[in-house]
């Protein structure tokens, strides 16, 4: 079945860039997502990328997709204390009736002042 | 901004009891989902629901689980006879459409503890 893997922890100094990595196994993945979870809150969609794209930029966020290696990354420029959260990578297919999201374990991002 | 809401935020129950977790999806959304996250583990898909019926369910979603849309606004998950291993955070989500980029919006979750 589908599997999505992430490293569990990342610590970054405030003002530096954070890069959170994700690998997935399902070659039919059509959309890949990044969700953010702050303490006590739900999963907030940050951004997504369609599988025929290599890169997507949205303000401080840059998503890179290497479809050949099934590798997805999220870069957060100028990391701030408010970026402290757990970041989940997720994928879905586009087959009719198969839109469930498969999530990674989440990467806990800690900002060092 | 519209959001998905869930009640209660926390629930403690005894093993064998029935629980109902409630969700109010975003009002113009047509597709509804339940996911769960056992502490320290991945967020797992349970079930998706459209047009008053289940469209897909995972192997976790056995006969102890059921979903319902009892009125035009609520979407519920019932666990008939809770087990210790049902302790988890349960997330409800909704989406406007069912294909890819029509993304799923998540509620804040209900933390269920079965004793």
Number of A–B residue contacts, CB under 8 Å:
65
Cβ-defined contact of B104 to A41 (cutoff 8 Å): no
Note the pLDDT of residue B43.
92
Cβ-defined contact of A103 to B42 (cutoff 8 Å): yes
Q: Is A65 exposed, middle or buried (0-12, 13-18, 19+ CB in 10 A)?
A: buried
Cβ-defined contact of A88 to B55 (cutoff 8 Å): no
Mean pLDDT in residue range B21-46: 92
Residues of chain A with pLDDT under 50: 96-98
Note the pLDDT of residue B72.
79
Q: Give the residue with greater pLDDT, B71 vs A62.
A: A62
Note the pLDDT of residue B75.
96
Mean pLDDT in residue range B103-114: 92
Q: Give the residue with greater pLDDT, B51 vs A98.
A: B51
Backbone angles phi, psi at A64, to 5 degrees: -115, 135
Cβ-defined contact of B45 to A102 (cutoff 8 Å): yes
Mean pLDDT in residue range B69-81: 93
Check: CB of residue A102 under 8 Å from CB of residue A90. Answer: yes
Cβ-defined contact of A41 to B108 (cutoff 8 Å): yes
Nearest CA distance, B35 vs chain A (angstrom): 9
Contacts of B41 in chain A (CB under 8 A): 105
Nearest CA distance, A34 vs chain B (angstrom): 11
Check: CB of residue A60 under 8 Å from CB of residue A46. Answer: no
Note the pLDDT of residue A1.
63
Note the pLDDT of residue B71.
87
Q: Is A7 exposed, middle or buried (0-12, 13-18, 19+ CB in 10 A)?
A: middle
Place of tokens 């970054």: A12
Share of chain B above pLDDT 70, in %: 95
Check: CB of residue A108 under 8 Å from CB of residue A99. Answer: no
Nearest CA distance, B115 vs chain A (angstrom): 22
Among chain B residues, the shortest Cα distance to A92 is held by B100
């Amino acid at each position: 079945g589908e599997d999505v893997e992430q490293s569990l922890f990342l610590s970054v100094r405030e003002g530096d860039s954070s890069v959170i990595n994700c690998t997935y196994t399902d070659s039919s993945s059509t959309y890949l997502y990044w969700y953010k979870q702050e303490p006590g809150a739900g999963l907030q969609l940050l951004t997504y990328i369609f599988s025929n794209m290599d890169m997507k930029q949205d303000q401080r966020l840059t998503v890179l997709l290497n479809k050949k290696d099934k590798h997805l990354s999220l870069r957060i420029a100028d990391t701030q204390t408010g970026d402290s959260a757990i970041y989940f990578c997720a994928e879905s297919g586009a087959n009719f009736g198969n839109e469930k999201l498969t999530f990674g374990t989440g990467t806990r991002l800690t900002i060092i002042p | 901004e519209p959001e998905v809401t869930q009640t209660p935020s926390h629930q403690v129950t005894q093993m064998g009891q029935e629980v109902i977790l409630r969700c109010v999806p975003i009002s113009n959304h047509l597709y509804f989902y339940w996911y769960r996250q056992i502490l320290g583990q991945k967020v797992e898909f349970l079930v998706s629901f459209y047009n008053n019926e289940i469209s897909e369910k995972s192997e976790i979603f056995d006969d102890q689980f059921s979903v319902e849309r009892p009125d035009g606004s609520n979407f519920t998950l019932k666990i008939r006879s809770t087990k210790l291993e049902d302790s988890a955070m349960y997330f409800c989500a909704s989406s406007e459409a069912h294909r890819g980029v029509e993304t799923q919006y998540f509620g804040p979750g209900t933390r269920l503890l079965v004793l």
